[in-house]
A and B are shown apart, each in its own frame.
Chain A
Amino acid sequence: MSAPNCLRCLVRPSAGIPVSAPRTVSPLVTPFVLARTAPFSTTAANARPKKEAQGKSDGGGSSRGGKKLQLGKFKKEKVADRGRTPLPGERKAYRKRITLSNDNAIPVPWLTDLGPADLADPRSSGKVMALPEEVQDQLRASEAFKATQCWGMFRKPAVLVRKETTDLVNRMEDAVDKKETLRLVVTGDKVTGKSMMLLQAMTHAYLNNWIVIHVPEAQELTTACTDYAPIPNTDPVQYMQNVYVLKLIQAIKRANEKVLAKTYTMTAHPELPQNMPANSSLLALANVAKEAEGAWAVFQALWTELTAQGANRPPILLTLDGLAHVMKVSDYRAPSFDLIHSHDLALVRLFSDVLAGGGAKFPSGGAVLAATSRSNAPRAASMELALAQREAEQSNKEKEKTDVEVPKKDPFFRGYDDRVEAVLRSVQVLRLKGIDKLEARALMEYWAASGMLRAMVDEKTVTEKWTLAGSGVLGEMERAALLTMRV
């Protein structure tokens, strides 16, 4: 979080900060101004040299002066051998580590790799299929795997193709056929597989040479844990998050390397620090972003190129996990000390504009998907209401009836947000529930074949786990069958 001296620099902006920069500067020189700007660092306190710590580096703790009460004549020196303490960041790395295979698990002979058309094929629903090696690397690069998912239990990562998966993928394909953008929010109860649905959509996209831009944790954008700086010449002021954008560009680059190498720029980009002539590959363009400074300009250039109308571009998939975090007022502060709305952060705005149906049009169509989260999500009343409304409207439309009542705003509640409502006015909603028993059976057979479930998979066991998991909630089935110790 912001430290006091950081706040001070907000109150008294120095000449170098672009807020006070004269508006007359031409947009062409913007990047050079940017290059000189000092971002509002949230780690100022950490950056300050620690004078006190340098003096007593060997003490390993504060030593108190004065007399000490000595109980007992001969007191043994306590030597607590704690072994090697983990280095800074080591614990977090361990916590966030993602293991995708387990050599002790039995390989499943009948497991087939996913092909480009498999996820769209309704016949493959209710089957467990493996992710191809290449796609694994791409997904890993875009951080689609999560540490909470049970990848590390099996020989190779595999996914259950659900009915909802084929449904979603078919909708994506339809949109691409019509060169439109599918705008959809995946929602559902706790551990019903919302993030996994995004992963499957991304898998399909990678297999079909789409370009995938994935924001793995929306909270990283809005909880004031990454640098931000106002973008000059924007009204109302928007904010860029250079460090995050750099990371995102690198993830995009690594994940979409092949496709980006085959896609070429339409126009020259003289505003970038490194001159990019027209007809150079997008991979080269993405490579321009070497440092945090200027990363936003590169991202903007990349985005303009990707969405350039009339060009031959691959379809684009834009995904974001943890929607509630970007549908609220962020924790960042403007120079006037007001809280910044999430939609004033440039990257979030880019996403929300596409989700709202405005903003950039994808030249070859594509999809923008967002998933809500139930474990780490702030209250976003407008989002919840809007999703409930869209869902009710959707079901009324499907049945051509009006039997489901569309929920209305609570007239006595003040926490609604008009900007959020505007964004979610016309999205589709995919609500995930538990899987049915056939799917549950396929899944449990895969677990048993991998040696992770040591029980005979029959009607009885399947129904038992299905019931214990609250009518087949996927994560709960894993808990009930795989993660609970059985003796």
Chain B
Amino acid sequence: MMASSTRQGFTPALRGVSRTLNGTKRQPLEQQFQSLRLSPALVPGRRCMSTESGPTEEEGSIVAAPEINMRELYHRFKLAEHARAVPVSPSYFSRTPTFNDRYLALDRFSRTYGNLPVIPTTDTERIAWKTLADLRQSFGEPVKATDYVKCLTIIKRLHQIHPELKPNVVTEALREFERDVQAFLNVPTPIPIDKFGRALGVGKRKASTARAFVVEGEGQVLVNGKSLADYFGRVHDRESAVWALHATDRIDKYNVWARVEGGGTTGQAEALTLAISKALLAHEPGLKPALRRAGTVTRDPRRVERKKHGRVKARKGPTWVKR
């Protein structure tokens, strides 16, 4: 069984032209169908029943059932002569049997348990579901995007079922569609507010680091022991330092005492933005969306770009010289 995402278009194309070329390695479609036929001539034993068979048999790949000896069955169960075996799984003949089976199972569950009470999506446990690429990777099958979308709709609907009433089978079935690494489980350590009512936020930008103690107050700011106007000569820098408070209309409700180190004025001012924003979030976690809109939640990862050889600076080309 091959993870055949690369071979999807390739296989049918090869099928017509290079049958003789690949005949030994790859079974053509007719041959594969023959393998399904109940032929007494075939030696009983393990055979690859996949629509595509790889050169090697991997661990855990689908293995065909042993050949059914129909003649014996005829005699034992008095079956009709023209009876034939039908695969258990309806996806037996599809290219994506693993996915298909799961999909069908989920579909069945949604029909069965569709009437169970649900909770709003905002209250459900946040789970990162596998993306299409993840799904193809893990099942090793060329899952169609439309199928994936349909499947995901069912998954989300099933996930909404009230957790106390959710059957275990559903939970089990959904587990296969969870991403391996659940980013939502990474919860940052909450910033405590100490007995003096201070919250300490730390922010960085370029080469600067800022620590800001934010307490409830009336809008005073001290940076490294100086007032904001003393410390930052540019009005723009002052504005960006208190931007988090300004954007949330909290400038008259908090006092800030900060230490800033490293870098230049702009870097220090913007490091302060982040530090104050984090400390403010400790006081009022509900401000997070507002602060995110203000652009003060995410650290700006940009640094000085390194100089490259053959260039004057990071990108500047050397001066053109005629000779």
Contact = CB atoms under 8 A, between A and B. Distances in A.
A233 interface: no
A464 B251 contact: yes
B242 interface: yes
A468 B252 contact: no
Interface stretch (A333-341, A400-408, A476-484): A476-484
Nearest to A469: B229
A480 B219 contact: no
A464 B220 CA distance: 10
B109 to A, nearest CB: 54
B230 A468 contact: no
Interface string B218-230: 1111000001111
Contacts of B251: 460, 463-464, 467
A468 B249 contact: no
Nearest to A462: B252
B224 to A, nearest CB: 13
A464 B229 contact: no
Given A463-B219, A480-B235, A484-B235, A470 B228 contact: yes
Contacts of B252: 459-460, 463-464, 467
B19 interface: no
Interface string A82-122: 00000000000000000000000000000000000000000
Contact of A473 (B227, B239, B242): B227
Contact of A476 (B219, B220, B229, B249): B229
Interface residues of A, number: 19
B283 interface: no
B246 interface: yes
Given A460-B249, A460-B251, A479-B235, A467 B230 contact: no
B205 interface: no
A344 interface: no
B235 A471 contact: no
Contacts of A467: 219-221, 228, 242, 251-252
B225 to A, nearest CB: 12
B136 interface: no
B67 to A, nearest CB: 82
Nearest to A484: B235
Interface string B164-193: 000000000000000000000000000000
A468 B227 contact: no
B204 interface: no
Contacts of B220: 467, 471
B159 interface: no
Interface residues of B, number: 16
Interface in B225-248: 227-230, 235, 238-239, 242, 246
Contacts of A459: 252
Interface string B22-39: 000000000000000000
A471 B242 contact: no
B275 to A, nearest CB: 16
Interface in B192-228: 218-221, 227-228
Nearest to A470: B229
A253 to B, nearest CB: 40
Given A463-B219, A467-B220, A189 B230 contact: yes
Contacts of A468: 228-229, 235, 238-239, 242
Contacts of B227: 434, 470-471, 473
Contacts of A469: 228-229
Given A459-B252, A460-B249, A479-B235, A470 B242 contact: no
A362 interface: no
A473 B229 contact: yes
Contacts of A437: 218
Contacts of A460: 249, 251-252
A456 to B, nearest CB: 13
A299 interface: no
B274 to A, nearest CB: 18
A190 B242 CA distance: 22
Of residues A189, A437, A463, which shows the largest number of chain B Cβ atoms within 10 Å of its Cβ?
Answer: A463
Contacts of A434: 227
Contacts of A190: 230
Contacts of B249: 460
B243 to A, nearest CB: 11
B230 A480 contact: no
A447 interface: no
A228 interface: no
Contacts of A464: 246, 251-252
B101 to A, nearest CB: 61
A318 B230 CA distance: 31
Given A470-B227, A473-B229, 17 more contacts: A189-B230, A459-B252, A460-B251, A460-B252, A463-B251, A467-B219, A467-B220, A467-B242, A468-B235, A468-B238, A468-B239, A468-B242, A469-B228, A470-B221, A470-B230, A471-B220, A471-B227
17 contacts: A190-B230, A437-B218, A460-B249, A460-B251, A464-B246, A464-B252, A466-B219, A467-B252, A468-B229, A468-B238, A469-B228, A470-B228, A471-B220, A471-B228, A476-B229, A479-B235, A480-B235
Interface of B: 218-221, 227-230, 235, 238-239, 242, 246, 249, 251-252
**What 6 pairs between A and B have smallest CB-CB spacing?**
A470-B229, A470-B227, A463-B252, A476-B229, A467-B219, A463-B219
